[in-house]
Amino acid sequence: MDAMTTTNSKDVIEVLNDLIETSKDGEAGFKVCAEDVKRPDLKALFSDRAVECGKAASELQAIVFQLGGDPENSTSLAGDMHRRWVDLKSAITGKSDEAVLNECERGEDVAKKSYKEALEKDLPADVRAVVERQYQGVLRNHDQIKALRDSERAKS
């Protein structure tokens, strides 16, 4: 890791722990979505996304550990609320694939916002590179899910 010249480690750790929470929320949310959809291609997509989110969290946890911090290892309160909302929405709508895709897109909106805010912080170059790479993945996921949701909506 670079010497922390611009920002102290505590601030960087705090930013990364927020992103770990966001990634853990995504992992849990995508697992729920994978269980709720009927289409096999969506099940596979959501399962892959859950694994990707888990990998992102692990990568960030390793950096926090290297910085001498205590890595976050749970989902956020907001994430718990988000999952309950997914469950409620699924129960109400009879678990239509469009409804599940809607919810996943909403979750990705939250992730986009978290990563965007993290990138507005003064991060060491090596940490910024990891966060930026993960953010690009979040943007790709969001756009893909939005496209799938739109095509599902067009069918109904």
Domain boundaries in the chain? 9-155
Give 100-120 pLDDT, tens digit per residue.
Answer: 888 888 888 889 999 999 999
| pTM of the full structure | 0.84
DSSP string, the chain: -----SS-HHHHHHHHHHHHHHHHHHHHHHHHHHHH---HHHHHHHHHHHHHHHHHHHHHHHHHHHTT-----S--HHHHHHHHHHHHHHHHHT--HHHHHHHHHHHHHHHHHHHHHHHTS---HHHHHHHHHHHHHHHHHHHHHHHHHHHHHHH-
pLDDT given at position 132: 98
pLDDT given at position 12: 95
CATH number 1.20.1260.10 is the correct assignment for the domain at 9-155: yes
Each residue's pLDDT tens digit in the chain (156 positions)? Answer: 444 444 589 999 999 999 999 998 888 888 888 887 888 999 999 999 999 999 999 999 999 999 999 988 877 776 666 666 566 455 545 668 888 888 888 888 889 999 999 999 999 999 999 999 999 999 999 999 999 999 988 887
pLDDT given at position 1: 47
